[in-house]
Amino acid sequence: MRRALIACGGTGGHLSPGIALAEEMISRGWECELLISTKQVDSRLVRKYSSLDYTSIPGSPPSLNPVRFARFAYNLVQGFLQCMVIIRQNKPDVVIGFGGFLSMAALFAGRVSGLPVAIHDSNRIAGRVTRTVSLFAHRIYLPEGVRIKTAHSSRIRPIGVPIRREIHPISKNRAKRHLGLNPSMKLLVVFGGSQGASALNEWVKSNIDSLAQEEIQVYCLMGITGGSNSELSYRSRKGTLIKSIFRQFSDEMGVVLSAADLVVSRAGTGSLTEIARCRAPTITIPYPFAADNHQYYNARHFEMHGCGILIEQEYIGNLLDEVKDTIYNDWLLQRFRENLSRLDDFHAQTKIVKDLEELILEMEARALQTQARKGESLS
């Protein structure tokens, strides 16, 4: 039986595809252990998957600030040592990382242990961890058209983002009813990824009455620190009761996105991939302080493929008018849905697992050849 160590914690954009890959591997007879961060959002999401084993390890990004850099270095060493122990105990056949600084320690430990190592990066601009690990990784999984400077370009494979099996589209009316909303009225879903987005939360609070006036229901995911769960009701111009729901977190993103007539979200690739799977037209507001401004490039790629609209955060004052114009434009929404279907890579996790199985066999054959040559030289 094959075993995999999957480092995927830190944000939902790293964790969700790691879970999706583990689901595929387990279905093919593998054993998997996930390495997640110590953040509450990680443990909350992974707990619902009772078939998955997971361990928390430390991790933090580097910084020019001396205190933060010291924390990064300390966590990297601690994480590396912890991963070395896990590798000795569990003897995995491969170590896979999904970007983020949490995965760096695991991939270093895998390389030092002589194991095949692979890195998956879903962003349109490859991150610092991916660029570093590409110097020694045996496989580098990148989105179609993304390039990095590395001496090992033959190890790059163009592959999309693995998506959890529970994320799939269902009937819009059924989804709205499940959420406790009126299926005959338009629904705007607003969320900022797994950790929320204060700018989007504040925008909803400032404009919720104006949205209700237009008979637009709202379902807002605020993040764990964004506020408490609540349900509010407003009256439209016609006197109709309009419900708005605020939640910190959802375990049913497939349902939430299926219910949406329009989404307003950040532009993390994990979110955009799930949006594409559920065919949810979207206005993206990229987080302006993301590393390498990668969310902007994710959102621009999304818009260029006709899947939604890009508004930079400095122009968020235009968002209300854009929402009102778009959510009642059924022709445009249908064009967005058709284009979203073209971005959806249904088989990303299957492609990755098959490629990793081939990689392991290649490295095992190479190791046997090396042993045979050593035996010949000794004789």
Interatomic CA distance for residues 117 and 110, integer angstroms: 6
Q: Taking residues 64-78, report their average pLDDT.
A: 88
Query: Does the 172-343 domain belong in CATH 3.40.50.2000?
Result: yes
Q: What does the pLDDT read at residue 128?
A: 86
Residue 59, both tokens: 């991790």
Task: Write the single-letter amino acid at 72.
Answer: F
**CATH no. for 3-161+346-378:** 3.40.50.2000
Residue 108, both tokens: 């270093």
Residue 121, both tokens: 């990066």
Quick: pLDDT tens for 17-63.
999 999 999 999 999 999 998 887 788 888 888 888 999 998 887 77
Interatomic CA distance for residues 58 and 38, integer angstroms: 7
Quick: pLDDT tens for 279-328.
999 999 999 988 889 999 999 999 999 999 999 999 999 999 999 999 99
Q: Taking residues 260-275, report their average pLDDT.
A: 94
Quick: pLDDT tens for 219-228.
999 987 777 8
Q: Cα-Cα-Cα-Cα dihedral of 352, 355, 359, 360, to 10°?
A: 70
Q: What does the pLDDT read at residue 376?
A: 65
Interatomic CA distance for residues 343 and 327, integer angstroms: 21
Asked if domains 3-161+346-378 and 172-343 share a fold, the reply is yes
Higher pLDDT, 310 or 75: 310
Residue 77, both tokens: 């060493």
Higher pLDDT, 196 or 131: 131
Quick: pLDDT tens for 238-248.
888 999 999 98
Which sequence spans correspond to the domains of the chain?
Answer: 3-161+346-378, 172-343
Please report, for the chain, how many H helices and E strands are present, in that order. 13, 14
Residue 228, both tokens: 């408490």
